[in-house]
Amino acid sequence: MTQPDPLPRGCSEILRQSARTPWLARNELVRYAALPFARLLFAWCGVRWGRGWALYGLPLIQRHRLGTITIGDHLSLRSTRGSNPLSPAHAVVLSVRRVGAKLIIGSHFGMTGGVLVADTAITIGDHVLIGANCTVTDTDFHPLDARLRRSDPAHGESAPVTIEDDVFIGMNCLILKGVRIGAGSVIGAGSVVARDVPPGVVVAGNPARVLRKVSG
């Protein structure tokens, strides 16, 4: 009796992994089922779809029609609770709120349940990972002066944010306006970053301060 051909090595490995970690298999099934809707969402918002993107749940995109959102290849966004054991509190938010504002994201970017809000510019390099439920914003949202809040409550001060290549930001961090985070640096979980961070260091705390150099 002829035996059936074995499954290709890649398929059999996928099946083995699915049996060991069924929640990952479910995430992939949901991702592929939602793919047409994800592509339609990005097209509707005027954002080019890149190669190798993996979206677990649909993000919330708020793009001013005279603003810019540009994202590189191999994007990974996790917006559903089951997509990460740290359980994102909400969908990923990509927001460009004003005329001429820019959100520029490089390749191999990953984020779980986070928020990126640009009134002026947020620029993120390649191979940047941002942990669960972080917020990166280049604006104060509201003026500090009470008289200005009465006349124009949504026009807080803004200054560009830059996150260079290979930065890792731990969960529940807040990155504030005007900050530059140097290449290869690590931001400890729960940190509030209000000042520039040099390259290749570990920072943590509120306000975040340099603890040591990143080990080679």
DSSP assignment of 122-153 equals: EEE-SS-EE-TT-EEESB-SS-SSHHHHHH-T
Cis peptide bond N-terminal to 59, omega within 30: no
Q: At what angle do helices 22-44 and 9-20 cross, to 10 degrees?
A: 110
Q: Which of 64, 74, 127, 142 is catalytic?
A: 142
- Phi and psi at residue 10, to the nearest 5°: -65, -40
What is the distance between the alpha carbons of residues 96 and 17, in angstroms, rounded to a whole number?
39
Q: Please, what is the Cα angle at 55 between 52 and 163, to 5 degrees?
A: 80
142 is known as an active-site residue: yes
Which residues, in sequence order, are CB contacts of 77 under 8 Å at separation 6+? 54, 55, 56, 57, 59, 92, 110, 111, 112
Catalytically active residues, by annotation: 142
